[in-house]
Structure 1
Amino acid sequence: MNDKFIKTQALYSLIDWEPFVLLGCLLAITWIFYKFFLQAASPERHTSIRSQFQALFRHFFILTILFVLFIVLHTTTGGDLANFARITPYIGLMTFVWGSIVFVKTCRLLVLQYLFLGSMRAGVPLLLVNIFSLLLSIVLTVWALSQVFGLDLGPLMATSAAFSIVLGLALQDTLGNLFAGISLQIDKSYEIGDWLEVVQGVQRATGQVKEISWRSTILVGFSDEEITLPNRTMANAQISNFSPDGHPIVRSQLFRIPYGCDLQKAKDILERAVVEISDIRGLPAPLAYIQETNENWVAIKVIYFIDNFGGQFTIGDKVMRKGIDALRANGIELARNVIELHSKSGPIHEQNS
């Protein structure tokens, strides 16, 4: 390999102890950042980050072997190793490429950990991290082609303008979804783990955000079904976020009490029973009030506040069972519909349902 295809002197100047040590320091900083700032992350996040560190350490170990081999071959001027001088540029090129990979992966992991600071429990979308990795890889590749191979990319970029236009038209929908996803993340309309209700026209979808990719946002519904919505749809839809911090979700259950019962006592029983459920907030406290009456019963509605939108049906079941048991323990049964049939001489039939 000679300077006709590759600038060996430029390549050799890039493969030195100083860049290698700086890359090792960057990896160490990334590890220290994880140990000191991400201890409160969820177990799933710890597992994910540690697996990425393991892969990164393996890449750095391979880089170290290549770097040491290059240094030995490059600094040897005589002896048996001098016969391997012809492969030195190839080893140098492999070392440079592998070092670039380690650099991109380390920066990617550092950015990922920084984003984790704002979302310890649920995680962060890979969209932003992937875009950062792609842009960094493109910049590094263009720079390497210019410095190491001596390619002038100016004319090439000029002649590819027509191709870029055709490619842009072909990828119009994909690019639209990509930029819509970026704008949604910049606006922080929602994050991974949030419960959303997405309404566009007559279409409605409710679920928890699982992932935000290049093209779409993936929700998981109440029945564990995956709902894939294009990012352009998300950007144009009406989104209700039920997971903002400090804003509990209000829900209610209705209890029908027969006439003749002590209504104030029934309300107190229901409020005390509901507040004992661990999934329900103590503040604001549950509130029971008379909502309506008819010829068969008095309806008491219990309002309570929860944080887990996805568990609202399970919590509602607990509220209903706990309320019924508390009322029965105090001698109060739920009301029933009563149907009476009358003749001219008086009632002839009575049915309870």
Structure 2
Amino acid sequence: MIRLRPLIAPALLLLGIAGMTFAQAEVSRRFDMAPLGRNGQNALQMAAYLGVAWLLSRILGQLLARLRPHSRPVPKLLGDLVSALLFLTAIVSGVLLILGHGAGSALAGSGVMLALFGFAIRNVVADTLSGIALGLEAPFRIGDWVDIEGLGKGRVVEIGWRTTRLLTRDSTYVILPNSQVSRQRIVNYSAPRSEFRAQMEIKLGHATPAAEGAELLHKALRDAPLIRQSPAPDVRIQAIEPDGVRYALRYWLGRFDHEWDCRDAIWREVDAALRRAGISLPQPPVAMLYAREGGAVPGAGMPASVPVAMR
């Protein structure tokens, strides 16, 4: 339901203007005053335009406040932009009216001027409209940890008219134009819940049976601090390759900013477990190339080729 109290002031202004307009003839006759001239009439009409803009902005503000797309409130930015457009139209129309244009031509002229002004600041308008779209779609909130493809990764600290601001894990302040943010793929690590699953990979040689390697890595993963034990971490065999078996260590984190500390703790536990078991990581394959000394072809009386190891 629309609250009436915020509408009282603009309504009283419009009633006052209407009363002055209709009562000016009677007032001039009773008090022997000259009626309002053309400039006075134009000033009253401009005041009426501003009053209408004020009233409409209050009504639209209340209507937008009641809308909750995706169970989230409409961003205040949208209401501010609509109010600014209404007042700008009223001011431009009033100025054109004072300059001698009729009411219809003043409104039409204000539309043309607004179009030209919008073209001149089209980049700002694009960022602002993108900010409104981000507010309506709400792919992230203040405090969410996000990864905006190709632009930055960090915690959202501000969503403004033109820009979105991130604070990275290195305490670096990143300012991104909303028009660029809206065109990129966004990964939100804080929605719908703050916990998420991460994954690390490691390869062990064929000297260690796959089941034994998976059990050893699983035990190291369970002993690592910071990770969630429910859901339980697990180890999966990714592939059996010529130089070894590749494993995936999967685990759950409660917060995205703990990721680096968790990875460090897991690698320490895995290293300690491998050393206790006497298991070493497979060495990369070595390719043997043969380089002829002096560039000559080996033969009678010629030096033999010299092997060169290439990793």
Question: What's the TM-score, normalizing by structure 2?
Answer: 0.52
> Which residue, 192, 212, 220 being the options, matches 1:245?
192
Cα separation, 2, equivalents of 1:173 and 1:130: 17
* Deviation by residue 1:163-184 (Cα, 9 ceiling, x = unmatched): 4344333332222221221121
The reply to whether residue 219 of structure 1 matches residue 166 of structure 2 is yes
Cα separation, 2, equivalents of 1:227 and 1:218: 6
Match of 2:278 in 1: 332
Cα separation, 2, equivalents of 1:289 and 1:134: 52
Cα separation, 2, equivalents of 1:341 and 1:234: 46
SS at match of 2:182: helix
Cα separation, 2, equivalents of 1:340 and 1:211: 52
| Alpha-carbon distance, 1:206 to partner | 3.1
Cα separation, 2, equivalents of 1:341 and 1:236: 45
Match of 1:257 in 2: 204
Match of 2:119 in 1: 169
Match of 2:51 in 1: none
The reply to whether residue 186 of structure 1 matches residue 115 of structure 2 is no
Q: Superposed, which structure 2 residues align to 1:100-111 within 5 Å?
A: none
Cα separation, 1, equivalents of 2:285 and 2:180: 51
Identity of aligned residues (%): 20
Are the counterparts in 2 of residues 253 and 320 from structure 1 also a CA contact under 8 Å?
no
Structure 1: give runs of 5+ residues left out of the alignment: 1-9, 12-103, 141-151, 343-350
> Which residue, 167, 175, 192 being the options, matches 1:228?
175
In structure 2, give the amino acid aligned to 1:323.
V
Change in 2 beyond 3 A, CA 1:133/1:319: same
Match of 2:148 in 1: 198
Are the counterparts in 1 of residues 165 and 174 from structure 2 also a CA contact under 8 Å?
yes
SS at match of 1:335: coil
SS at match of 1:227: strand
Cα separation, 2, equivalents of 1:234 and 1:338: 41
Are the counterparts in 2 of residues 209 and 220 from structure 1 also a CA contact under 8 Å?
yes
Cα separation, 2, equivalents of 1:176 and 1:295: 53
Match of 1:17 in 2: none
| Alpha-carbon distance, 1:315 to partner | 1.9
| Alpha-carbon distance, 1:241 to partner | 2.5
In structure 2, give the amino acid aligned to 1:197.
D
In structure 2, give the amino acid aligned to 1:252.
Q
| Alpha-carbon distance, 1:218 to partner | 1.8
Are the counterparts in 2 of residues 243 and 307 from structure 1 also a CA contact under 8 Å?
no
Cα separation, 1, equivalents of 2:124 and 2:268: 49
Q: Superposed, which structure 2 residues align to 1:282-293 within 5 Å?
A: 282-293=229-240
Match of 2:305 in 1: none
Say how many residue pairs are matched: 219
Cα separation, 1, equivalents of 2:175 and 2:113: 31
Structure 2: give runs of 5+ residues left out of the alignment: 1-11, 14-57, 88-93, 289-308
> Which residue, 267, 278, 282 being the options, matches 1:320?
267
Are the counterparts in 1 of residues 220 and 270 from structure 2 also a CA contact under 8 Å?
yes
Cα RMSD over matched residues?
4.8
Cα separation, 2, equivalents of 1:272 and 1:254: 15
Tell which deviates more after alignment, 184-193 or 291-300: 291-300
| Alpha-carbon distance, 1:233 to partner | 1.9
Cα separation, 2, equivalents of 1:137 and 1:339: 67
Q: Superposed, which structure 2 residues align to 1:118-137 within 5 Å?
A: 128-129=75-76, 132=79
| Alpha-carbon distance, 1:307 to partner | 4.0
Question: What's the TM-score, normalizing by structure 1?
Answer: 0.47
In structure 2, give the amino acid aligned to 1:178.
T
In structure 2, give the amino acid aligned to 1:172.
R
Are the counterparts in 2 of residues 252 and 302 from structure 1 also a CA contact under 8 Å?
yes
SS at match of 1:236: coil
